[in-house]
Amino acid sequence: LNVLHLHLSDDQGFRVESIEYNLLHDRKDFFTQKDIQHLVEYARQRRIRIIPEFDIPGHTTR
């Protein structure tokens, strides 16, 4: 396998640290930006493609 699919948001929470919108990740169980950088570098060295997924409500128009 050379693909990692990351489900990073849904109705239960947003799992990536946001500097600008810091209330998105109100709990302790999220990836910091440094975590993501390390993960991307680790995957790059091993030729693993990362596919991030961010769910949005179906009624969102923009």
Report percent pLDDT > 70 for the chain. Answer: 92
pTM of the model: 0.75
User: What is the torsional sign of CA 53, 5, 33, 29?
Assistant: positive
Q: What pLDDT is attached to residue 37?
A: 97
**Does an H or E element contain 53, and which?**
strand 49-54
With bands split at pLDDT 50, 70 and 90, how would you rate the model's confidence at 9?
A: confident
pLDDT for 21-43, tens place per residue? 877 776 778 889 999 999 999 99
